[in-house]
Amino acid sequence: MRLVLSSLAAILLSGTALAADSFEGSAGHDWSGFYVGVNAGYAGGNMHYTYFDTGVLSYVYTRDGDGALFGVQAGYNWQSGALVFGVETDLQYTNLTSADRYIGESYGEKVQWFGTTRARLGYTPMDRLLIYGTGGFAYGEYKVFSSDPNDYWNTSTTRTGWTAGAGLEVAVNDRISVKGEYLYTHLGTWTVYDDGWDVEKIKLPFHAVRIGMNFKF
Q: Looking at residue 83, what is its pLDDT?
A: 96
Mean pLDDT of 6-27: 45
Of residues 51 and 76, more confidence is placed in 76
Reply yes or no on whether the pLDDT at 89 is more than 50. Answer: yes
pLDDT score at 12: 46
Residues 73-81: what's their mean pLDDT? 97
pLDDT of residue 188: 93
Task: Identify the residue with better confidence: 194 or 162.
Answer: 162
Domain ranges of the chain: 2-216
State the average pLDDT over residues 84-92.
98
Using the 8-state DSSP alphabet, how is residue 13 labeled?
A: H
Q: pLDDT-based confidence at 101, cuts 50/70/90?
A: confident
The per-residue pLDDT for 214 is 98
The CATH label, of 2.40.50.500, 2.40.160.20, 2.60.40.10, 2.40.50.140, for the domain at 2-216 is: 2.40.160.20
Q: State the amino acid at position 60 in one-letter form.
A: V
Residue by residue, DSSP assigns 103-159 as TTEEEEEEEEEEEEEEEEEEEEEETTEEEEEEEEEEEEEEEEEESSTTSS--EEEEE
Please say if the pLDDT value at position 23 is more than 60.
Answer: no
How far apart (Å, rounded) are the C-alpha atoms in residues 116 and 163? Answer: 7
Is the pLDDT score of 74 beyond 90?
Answer: yes
Mean pLDDT (the chain, rounded): 87
